[in-house]
Structure 1
Amino acid sequence: MTRYYDLVLGLIPLALGGIAALLTVFGFTLTTAVLPASFVAVGLIGHAMFVNGPVDDARPAADDGGFQPAD
């Protein structure tokens, strides 16, 4: 089953190469086309890290026998 992070890892090179290739077809030079394509790739990485970041679902229960807060 494909999860969100699998899709992000697949979209990063696809966005970088696809957008750069598309912009070169429209007449931009390759060095100019890579810049907006890289912004999209970095945006995907930023979204995966900060907006929909990985979280640990295993939270300890309140009475798990461990240390208790001192308040």
Structure 2
Amino acid sequence: MAQYYDYVLGVIPLVLVGVTSLLSIAGLDLTMAIPAGAGVAALIIGHALFVNMPTRPTANTADASQRANAE
């Protein structure tokens, strides 16, 4: 099953291409539309890294869950 970071990895290129093409179609020069699209993609990456941080299970929580399953 896909999780949050799988969706983030899929959304990054979609946002980069989508925002760039929308701004280009709207009349903005391509040299300005590409950095704008990259900025939005960078905001998504920043959200994934700093707002919704990836966490690793620690040894203590893994041991506790194994003990709970054994009982």
Tell me the TM-score range normalised by the shorter chain: 0.7 to 0.9
What is the match of residue 24 of structure 1?
24
Q: Which amino acid aligns with 2:3?
A: R
**What is the deviation of 1:35?**
1.4
Q: Which amino acid aligns with 1:11?
A: V
More helix by share: 2
**What is the deviation of 1:60?**
1.6
Percent of aligned pairs with the same amino acid: 46
Structure 2: gaps spanning 5 or more residues = 62-71
Structure 1: gaps spanning 5 or more residues = 62-71
**What is the deviation of 1:50?**
0.8
Q: Give distance in 2, aligned partners of 1:40 and 1:53.
A: 18
Which is greater in Rg? 1
- 1:38 equivalent in alignment to 2:31: no
Q: How many residues align?
A: 61
- 1:9 equivalent in alignment to 2:9: yes
TM-score normalised to the size of structure 1? 0.78
What is the match of residue 54 of structure 1?
54
TM-score normalised to the size of structure 2? 0.78
Q: CA RMSD in A?
A: 1.3
